[in-house]
Structure 1
Amino acid sequence: MRFMMHVLLKPAWKRSWSKAMSAQNLQIVAFSQYSTLLPISVSPQLQELCSVVVSTVGGLDDLEFSLNKFKDSLTSSLVAQAIDSSKHEAHTRRLLRFFLWSSKNLSHSLENKDYNHALRVFAEKNDYTAMDILMEDLKKEGRVMDAETFGLVADTLVKLGKEDQALGVFKNLDKYKCSIDEFTVTAIINALCSKGHAKRAEGVVWHHRDKITGAKPCIYRSLLYGWSVQRNVKEARRIIKEMKANGVTPDLLCYNTFLRCLCERNLRHNPSGLVPEALNVMMEMRSCRVFPTPISYNILLSCLGKTRRVKESCQILETMTNGGCDPDWVSYYLVAKVLFLSGRFGKGKDIVDQMIGKGLMPNHKFYYSLIGILCGVERVNHALELFEKMKKNSMGGYGPVYDVLIPKLCTGGNFEKGRELWDEATSMGIILQCSEDVLDPSITQVYKPTKPEKISLVDSSVAKSPHKVKKFVRKMKMRKKYAATKKKKKFTAN
């Protein structure tokens, strides 16, 4: 279920952060100067060249031998089109050898944009070796690296755990004939903060503060995100205070980032402080005329669900409704999930009905995840009821649900219902991933839930409670003492 939570919540939060960064020129998105799709009329020469690059037959020397027949008709545009057309199918080593071979045969025809384009392709494929080789060639030949290319290269290097190399390229941008300006500074800061290297990013800010005077808001957002990745509430709070002191008003994205940092920190170290501290942050938001949204409350609900705090989750959902912030379907999902996991199935069904009654149309993953939870806690009948609600709302995406329910019903002995669902799915043209053999009682083993065996406490001092163990030890000591006294009296009498 952690995977489903990731699908339902975290990407949405990260997407909103990324969109805001790109709006402020902080999120560096690599762009291609060439189309990644083949044109409608593809020349036979391009088709043949792509087939040679993509081929898996032979080694790299064989590839170069096959490419030699294209020497006379090779052009820079043909090289770019071949890389774009085969970058998803060909191995990066073959792409690299093809480009190096092209640069050797078209040394004067290949332009800076061709080198930058190839470098961006290798960065997108996370191939550090190919990037390193191409950057060295780019530096030796005195070619210019675009600022956009550097942004993608820096981001890729940090993702690969090579933040030192990313900083090294940034410090030596003059060797790549790329200027250190507002764009490149924000690019390296954003790359470092995306993986939590906020301290090193602040070092870049300190040394190049004269170049980022117009980018302060996005720089603060990036630093705040960097500290939140580390769950460092103290430093994240410091960034918020610096923003206010420098006349930059924290927006909703900043407060949501800080709220996530606070909640995830308390989740590990102070679960009882989740609700009060989060609500204090929301009060601070309102005082700054920044009003919490369902995303803000969902951050708190997500952490409450991870600690199985059922009562607080229901109270937060009620607070949202009474406070004028209408819950979205993710809010209802988070509350229904913790209710089902804690065995409150009736209350969980009421929450789902309440969501449907308000006219909210959730994603099909909402039903798929909750049905998976109900099957996991052996409540298949409740899962079937929820599936009927899903079909009633014509959500679509029924295939994965059938793949979960049919095997679960059959392993529970309900082959008749499993066959019914199978026939229902096939009649709708749904291709199921589970095998039809699961419907055969002679093949599928039925697992009946059994009560846990009682542990015998006879002659097992380990299994007894601490009180009984102490009583047993005291009794044994008294017996030994009585035996020793009796033996001493007998010896004296003799």
Structure 2
Amino acid sequence: MVTPPPTTALQNLPGFQELCSLVSTPIGGLNELELSLKKCEVHLTPSIVVEVVNHCKEEASTRRLLRFFTWSCKSLGSALGDKDFNHAIRVFAEKKDHRAVDILLADLRKDQRVLEAQTFGTVAELFVKMGREDDALGIFKNLDLFKCAQDRMTVTAIVNALCAKGHARGAEGVVYHHKDKISGAESCVYRSILYGWSVQGNVKETRRLLQEMKSRKITLDLYCFNTYLRCLCEYKLKKNPSGLVPEALNVFMEMKTYKITPNSISYNVLLSCLGRTRRVKESLRIFDSMRKSGCAPDWVTYYLLIRVLYLTGRFGKGNQILELMAEDGLEPPAKFYHDLIGVLCGVERVNYALELFGRMKKSSADNYGPVYDVLIPKFYKCGEFEKGKELWDEAERMGIALQCSRDVLDPSITEVFPPKRKEHSLKVKDTSMLNTRITKGNRLLQIAKKPKFRNKRRQKKKKPKKKAAST
């Protein structure tokens, strides 16, 4: 058996680089490309075709890549194996070119090639993402035309693809008609359907599926309860935010009956919903109960709690939680600082943001560029030009390429927003009130007079006067 040459050996073959440049260049039409390929002096083999597709899939346009592959199929004929054909379909599916996938699937069926189960899963996922779930189901129902079996792998693939976008009812229909083919994969299939119902936000169906899994003796694990908890909390956030904590605690109690301990993800789901509805006291109580239960908070937990404290103006308490995170020995990533600095700038607390940036520099986090891009324009718009110029020079010394324009350093260009003054004026709620101005000494007073309302029922109509008789 002859082993195929390694990738480096293929790229060193004469004419390979010329072939790649023809496919990658955007100059010329598709017909010109095909004529140039015919003139290219290279011994075409299936390995070279696959290597060119892999080498040019990021640089070349999908149309030029598709024309090269179809030309190669005509040139090689049956020498191009089904495995290589399936690999090309997966490449175009990963590039989200559903039109190219349609063309290649038609060619595969016409040439009576075999569609691999892995390729079907990739195609089904692409079609469902593009809103073509009916086409994905159509291919699944006619897999025999593609010489692909409806087995456990293909059933699981179509169920996962449908449930990823919330088509749980269609996935349940597939499972109902192929119960005998999912033996050994029931847990994976039902977990996917559970996720599909949670994507829809259907608490009732999610709960029903949990009970069905229990009746079928499928093990309910932490993932199942966290999925149900996320669906329940999202529903309560929209309908009844005051019921978030009681309902979530009931789920935690139910988890303990199955000897499952809630983890940081479970608490983060609840804290995220509480933060979105600005329930600070309940967030702090949940955080305390989390630590008392022995569940160690992660950096996401601290981020959710500090964020809601900053948004509600509790900057001192937020800094205390930040110190507590440092005491626990947690080193959050750069995203933690980026988002919180953005929150502080959004609530016009630039000095607190600068303090948090100093803490970020002392930690192991890197990628300071986005922070400079936010802070420098913010300081200039607040009128603190010296601090903004200092940050700009500091970024240049560190060799950071800033995305913000240098024009922000020019006070004649950057618009400065001074702090707003509270205007003490008399606000008149009723537009029907009459305003009169009275001068008293050197002061101008504005007095609002209420209109006189008369009771129309008690008001008596005046009788018309009788005209005097003419003499």
TM-score, normalising length from structure 1?
0.86
Cα distance in 1 for residues equivalent to 2:361 and 2:225: 38
Does the 8 Å CA contact 2:15/2:41 hold for their aligned counterparts? no
- What SS class does the counterpart of residue 447 from structure 1 fall into? coil
Q: Are the aligned partners of 1:147 and 1:183 in contact in 2 as well (CA < 8 Å)? A: yes
Which residue, 3, 27, 44 being the options, matches 1:57?
Answer: 27
Q: Which residue of 2 aligns with 1:3?
A: none
Give the Å deviation of 1:44.
4.0
Provide the C-alpha distance between the structure 1 equivalents of 2:256 and 2:29, rounded to a whole number of angstroms.
64
Given that residues 433 and 450 in structure 2 are in contact (C-alpha distance below 8 angstroms), is that contact kept between their aligned partners in structure 1? no
> Do 1:71 and 1:105's aligned partners in 2 also have CA atoms closer than 8 Å?
no
Matched, 1:491 2:465: yes
| Structure 2 residue aligned with 1:233 | 203
- The one-letter code of the counterpart of 1:302 is S
Match of 2:275? 305
**Structure 2 residue aligned with 1:43:** 13
Name 1:374's counterpart in structure 2. 344
Q: Is the 8 A contact 1:301 1:331 kept in 2?
A: yes
Aligned partner of 1:98 in structure 2 is 68
Query: Which residue, out of 47, 64, 73, partners 1:77?
Result: 47
Distance in 2 (CA, whole Å) between partners of 1:375 and 1:189 is: 44
Query: Which residue in the other structure is 2:445 paired with?
Result: none
2:240 to 270, 275, 281: 270
User: Cα distance, 1:442 vs. partner?
Assistant: 2.5
Alignment counterpart, residue 94 of structure 2, candidates 94, 116, 124: 124
Q: 1:46 to 1:270 in 2, by over 3 A?
A: same
Checking the alignment, whether the CA contact within 8 Å between 2:86 and 2:115 is kept in structure 1 is: yes
Alignment partner for residue 179 of structure 1, among 149, 157, 178?
Answer: 149
Distance in 2, Cα, partners of 1:226 & 1:48: 48
- Taking the aligned partners of 1:95 and 1:35, their CA distance within structure 2 comes to 23
Q: Could you say what secondary structure the match of 1:282 adopts?
A: helix
| 1:493 positional shift | 11
In 2: Cα distance, 1:288 partner to 1:463 partner: 70
2:453 corresponding residue in structure 1? 476
Cα distance in 2 between the residues matched to 1:186 and 1:461: 69
Matched, 1:457 2:434: no
Q: Secondary structure at the match of 1:476?
A: coil
304, 310, 320: which is aligned to 2:290? Answer: 320
Bigger relative contact order, structure 1 or 2 (CA pairs below 8 A, ≥6 apart): 1
In 2, Cα distance between the equivalents of 1:416 and 1:338?
Answer: 31
- The CA distance in 2 between the partners of 1:432 and 1:154, in whole Å, is 42
Task: Tell me how far apart the structure 1 counterparts of residues 46 and 172 of structure 2 sit (CA, whole Å).
Answer: 41
Report the secondary structure of 2:193's partner residue: helix
1:143 pairs with 113, 129, 134, which one?
113
The answer to whether residue 417 in structure 2 is matched with residue 447 in structure 1 is yes
User: How do residues 210-359 of structure 1 correspond to structure 2 at under 5 angstroms?
Assistant: 210-359=180-329
Query: Could you tell me how far apart the structure 2 residues matched to 1:107 and 1:395 are?
Result: 55
1:324 is displaced (CA, Å) by 1.1
Q: Whole-Å Cα distance in 1 between the matches of residues 41 and 113 of structure 2?
A: 23
Q: Which runs of 5+ in 2 are unaligned?
A: 436-448
Q: Following the alignment from structure 2 to structure 1, what is the Cα–Cα distance between the partners of residues 409 and 306?
A: 31
CA contact (8 A) 2:344 2:352 kept: yes
Q: Which runs of 4+ in 1 moved over 6 A?
A: 34-40
Q: How many residues align?
A: 451
C-alpha distance in 1 between matches for 2:264 and 2:7: 39
Instruction: Provide the residue aligned with 1:18 in structure 2.
Output: none
Report the identity percentage: 58
1:477 aligned counterpart, secondary structure: coil
Unpaired runs of 5+ residues, structure 1, are 1-33, 465-470
Letter in 2 for 1:343: G
Aligned partners of 2:110 and 2:405: how far apart in 1? Answer: 58
The residue type paired with residue 416 of structure 1 is E
Structure 2 Cα separation of the partners of residues 419 and 346 of structure 1: 28
1:35 to partner: Cα distance = 12
Give 1:395-474 correspondences, 5 Å limit. 395-451=365-421, 456-457=427-428, 460-461=431-432
Cα contact 1:372–1:404 (8 A) shared by 2: yes
User: Amino acid of the residue matched to residue 258 of structure 2?
Assistant: C
Q: Report the alpha carbon displacement of residue 112 of structure 1 after superposing the two structures with TM.
A: 0.4
